[in-house]
Homo-oligomer: A and B are copies of this chain.
């Protein structure tokens, strides 16, 4: 049957096409990691003196590692209703001298949880690299546009001037916070290790005749073989699902930041100030041929909306794990973790494509600055009046009246607005400024320079590599 005749998740089929995460999160990769974990366990047990683990068994395991018969696996699981035992049996048949010692002393979570740790680590590593590239692109954009004055907007209404690049620093800072959260997750992530059925390591104590020190070494050995430096000291059957909460929180915070950025872009595109990239042959609307829609930014917002709900799943799963372990986590983690990582990947790809092709429509930007200038100049008037000792409340009140009357009337020039004698003392100073918009933008350039140099670049530069210059092309 053609694969199109069966539902597929759009995360795989549309939004992450070609991503390495699809393999990292696959059944195949999981199977190989499970087998590798069994090999590491056997090796470590042998190293520590367990004679029932033979060199021959280990060699057999290594040789058979890549040989996977999917239909046999599925049949076995259908029979046993237990995926780890199914894999165990099938692998055992492939390496008969190891059959008796595969999984020796272990409980299912030895392979399940530790493999999850490895998969998550590798996926997070990949995502951090991509996130650094996106941050680097936003940094470039900010650097390029740090002096381009634009109307600031609060409440989506014109407000004191800012610059395009300074605004991009707000975006970068929000993303950077999520990047650092995810980076911290990566550096603090703990391996589950060797813990046994209820976390007491009892089966290993039996194997090693009550030698605690050997069990401790076993735990350390396997942790090191798997490439981890930290492991949990305490566990039930699984590592604590708090660790999943920390992961998902970082992803959701990223989603929130991405959604804020892309909503900003959409509003600015509606105002004609910014264009997300629109491709040569792209069609905006099937009915309205003249349309140029910010569909990429909209897609990010749409994907982010789902990702933002994941902490609910993670927190409730954590809260509902009973005693040494209930299976409350099983099915939901198979969805939550993979989909959280993939959704993050999807958003990053689109976001990178957007930022790489972001166009400032400078003529509109400066037109809007000119339109708002008289009102912005009034803000300067307020400051000067205060400097001259006029009561701030009183000044605020008169300026407010001047401004609202002008708004009502429409198209009133600065000259007209300041014609009242109340402004006599400050009028000249205000006029002098009104021709230099950048003066109205405060410390935007310095803020941008400082932020890029002191915060952004030091954080991402360890992640950037040569080939990261490639631009993202989107499939759909």
Contact = CB atoms under 8 A, between A and B. Distances in A.
Interface of A is mostly: helix
Contacts of A320: 259-260, 263, 301, 305
A240 B379 CA distance: 24
Contacts of A315: 252-253, 255-256, 308, 311
Contacts of A256: 242, 245, 315-316, 318-319
Interface in A203-242: 203-207, 210, 212, 215, 232-237, 240, 242
Contacts of A310: 309
A288 B197 contact: yes
A181 B245 CA distance: 11
A202 B103 contact: no
Given A256-B315, A318-B257, A392-B100, A155 B383 contact: no
Interface in A55-105: 68, 70, 74, 77-85, 88-89, 92, 99-105
Nearest to A339: B9
Contacts of A210: 439
A430 to B, nearest CB: 11
A210 to B, nearest CB: 8
A358 interface: no
A159 B439 CA distance: 38
Contacts of A302: 317, 327-332
B200 A152 contact: yes
Contacts of A15: 331
A293 interface: yes
A286 B212 contact: no
Contacts of A9: 8-9, 11-12, 335, 338-339
A285 B161 contact: no
B327 A287 contact: no
A367 B15 CA distance: 40
Contact of A162 (B181, B324, B439): B324
Contacts of A318: 174, 253, 256-257, 260
A26 interface: yes
A35 interface: no
B331 A197 contact: no
B8 A28 contact: no
A344 interface: no
A285 B171 CA distance: 24
A454 interface: yes
Contact of A286 (B257, B324, B396): B396
A279 B81 contact: yes
Given A383-B207, A443-B205, A331 B303 contact: yes
A379 B170 contact: no
A294 B81 CA distance: 12
A162 B305 contact: no
B4 A8 contact: no
Contacts of A108: 285-287
Chain B CB count within 10 A is highest, among A157, A288, A396, for: A288
Given A233-B450, A386-B100, A294 B155 contact: yes
A204 B443 CA distance: 10
A352 interface: no
Interface stretch (A125-133, A399-407, A463-471): A399-407
A415 interface: no
Interface in A250-307: 252-253, 255-257, 259-260, 263-264, 266-271, 279, 281-295, 298-299, 301-306
7 contacts: A85-B286, A99-B393, A153-B322, A253-B318, A287-B379, A289-B382, A289-B396
Given A159-B237, A252-B315, 4 more contacts: A6-B22, A81-B281, A201-B447, A295-B327
Among all A-B residue pairs, the 9 with the closest Cβ atoms: A202-B442, A290-B403, A200-B442, A152-B198, A298-B327, A107-B287, A155-B293, A289-B400, A259-B319
